[in-house]
Amino acid sequence: MGLPARYGIDLKELEVRYRELSRVLHPDKHAHKPAGERRISLGKAVEVNEAYRILKDDLARATALLALDGHVVAEGEGAPSDPMFLMEVMELREELSEARSAKDLDRVGALGEKVTAMRRATTAQMATAFDGPEPGGAGREHAELKALVGRLRYYRRFMDEVDVIEEEALG
Amino acid sequence: MAYSDKLIEHYENPRNVGTLDKGDDTVGTGLVGAPACGDVMRLQIRVNPETQIIEDAKFKTFGCGSAIASSSLATEWIKGKTVEEANALKNTQIVEELNLPPVKIHCSVLAEDAIKSAIADFREKQKKQEDKG
């Protein structure tokens, strides 16, 4: 996408680059070309879509950067998260489930905002941990980064639940 | 991949959902999470210190159906067992019983970890008691 391999990226710039590339690679623009060239531009368009999907997602972007460094965070794998954090997540989940039973949408919304703020704090930490050291990723603390990715997953789960509750309420 | 009837049954009618008093010295609490998917599970046991038998077990799991079913089955199994026996429980037994698909095996691992961590917490508390006494 012509963007640096960093965690902190300008989402507006990403959007602009994506639109540009999509336009250039659009099949209609290549309809008159030979089959071989059409296939190549189509393949590139698919790659650009995939890259865009990953880059705009704060969790997928982190996982992809870790993979580039040779660190794969597999399903079910990961260091045990610290107990204080787990306790906090557990309490938040319990509060959310109470708010759901009570049909208290204001509380659901407030909890969602709280977790969104926590998520932002974590992505800010990640930007520092990914981009702070040498450009190109030398000296990154991968264990720390994996732990942060783990946190993001808990927040993601929480927000998924908030979405489900809010959709339910809308009928 | 179709889920087994047993799994669905535990998911729809989970046994032993709830909480025990964390401050009670005969209660052990295990809190575990799966960083790879964001599930959290709390499993608690109440043990008779004389007989070392688990008289009650409760859990609360925020996660997928397999995680809920795994913890539900785990509490059902360890009730009435001694701490020693419960500590020997293997996640593979849960996998077999619920016929968990490979992508959900980590849910059973989570349940095994939760039991072990609840037992460790209980033992820790008992040790403190002994040290005091």
Lowest average pLDDT, out of A39-53, A66-80, A104-118, goes to: A66-80
**Nearest-CA residue of chain A relative to B104?**
A76
**Which one, of B26, B109, B12, B117, lies nearest residue B67 by Cα?**
B109
Helix, coil or strand: residue A33: coil
DSSP characters over A61-81: HHHHHHHHTT----TT-SPPP
Query: Is residue B117 included in any domain, yes or no?
Result: yes
Task: Flag whether pLDDT at B36 surpasses 80.
Answer: no
Instruction: Classify residue A76 by burial, with Cβ atoms within 10 Å: 0-12, 13-18, 19+.
Output: middle
Could you read off the pLDDT of A84-139 as tens digits, one per residue?
899 999 999 999 999 999 999 999 999 999 999 999 999 999 999 888 866 666 67
Burial A122-139 (b: 16+ CB within 10 A, else e): bbeebbebbbeeeeebee
Tell me what the pLDDT averaged over chain A comes to: 88
Residues of A (145-164) whose Cβ lies below 8 Å from B: 146-147, 149-151, 153-158, 161
| Predicted pLDDT of residue B83 | 97
- ipTM value: 0.85
Q: Does A99 touch chain B (CB under 8 A)?
A: no
Mean pLDDT of chain B: 94
Kindly report the CATH number assigned to the domain that includes residue B35.
Answer: 3.90.1010.10
Minimum-distance CB partner of B36 among A78, A90, A151 = A78
Q: Is residue B133 part of a domain?
A: no
Residue B111 lies in a domain: yes
Residue range(s) defining the domain that contains residue B123? 5-127
Q: Which helix (H) or strand (E) holds A93?
A: helix A83-101
B62, B34 Cβ separation under 8 angstroms: no
* B57 part of a folded domain: yes
Task: Classify burial at A38, counting beta carbons within 10 Å of its beta carbon; exposed 0-12, middle 13-18, buried 19 or more.
Answer: middle
pLDDT at B1: 55
Which of A75, A90, A151 lies nearest to residue B37, judging by beta carbons? A75
A93 Cβ under 8 Å from any chain B Cβ? yes
Pairwise CB contact (< 8 Å): A75 & B62: no
